[in-house]
Amino acid sequence: MTSPPPTTVEGSAHSEVQGPATSVFWHECEYGEAEEWQVTLKTAEKRYSELESHLRREHSWQNPEVSATALVAGSAEYLAWIDRTTNN
């Protein structure tokens, strides 16, 4: 995101904001640098598409970086907390 995001996003159990950081990139064949924040959101798999849609809709960029990493293992209590917190 190009500005500090809210600390919670509907559909996520947890959010973590890191930054600002300097991002260096190529966009439309041009070099660019920008101040950015990296946001990590934790949600249940069943809520991912809804959360991605929200992020893409609310982000100021046309094609923001939105990606997912599967959580293959974790404590039963922690995983249950994510499910409870993201259950709508």
Domains of the chain: 14-86 (3.30.70.120)
pLDDT by residue, tens only, the chain of 88 residues: 454 454 467 788 988 999 999 999 998 899 999 999 998 999 999 999 999 999 999 898 888 899 999 989 999 999 999 999 998 6
Q: Say what the pTM is.
A: 0.74
CA distances (Å), origin 74, targets 16, 22, 40, 85: 18, 32, 17, 16
